[in-house]
Structure 1
Amino acid sequence: MSDFFERYGRCRHFFLNRYCGINSMLAVNNWQALRNQVRKWDKPVKGSKGKLETVYNFQTKHWVGALREACANIKSMWSNLANRLK
């Protein structure tokens, strides 16, 4: 079970690194659109060694959860930054 959580964390970290930049700020507001975009990729994900199911060795529903959680964290980080700047 701990192996699963380690893989889940690495997958979440992958999404955090991929979408935390200012260019992705609007994209993370709609995580479902990002999910659909990732599902359409036929080739390996840029920055990883293969498809997400293969790289992290779990079902699609698990990387979708990691993506949703990463988007929520990123939105929270941007919101906290905006509050500090006010």
Structure 2
Amino acid sequence: MARVVVDVMPKAEILDPQGQAIVGALGRLGFSGVTDVRQGKRFELEVDDSVDDATLERIAEEVLTNTVIENFSVTRISE
């Protein structure tokens, strides 16, 4: 068994209204110095040894990510 993390983030050129709302809220709460926030998604998958890296890439690209507006990275976590 392995743990796999798929991080999904909006592409740099895509407006991130949730991230902008967080920046505004941080300022109102007294946290200074934060100039930008990008909000993404994190998926953790438990997979058996039969799931290869190519399959994980396909899962991330075809199921977990809207590749028109998002980028992703796949990382196997050693435990």
The two structures have a TM-score, normalised by structure 2, of 0.32
Work out which structure has the larger RCO, using CA pairs closer than 8 Å and 6 or more positions apart in sequence: 2
Which structure dedicates a bigger proportion of its chain to strand?
2
Return the index of the structure with the highest Cα Rg: 2
Relative to total residues, which structure has the larger helix share, 1 or 2?
Answer: 1
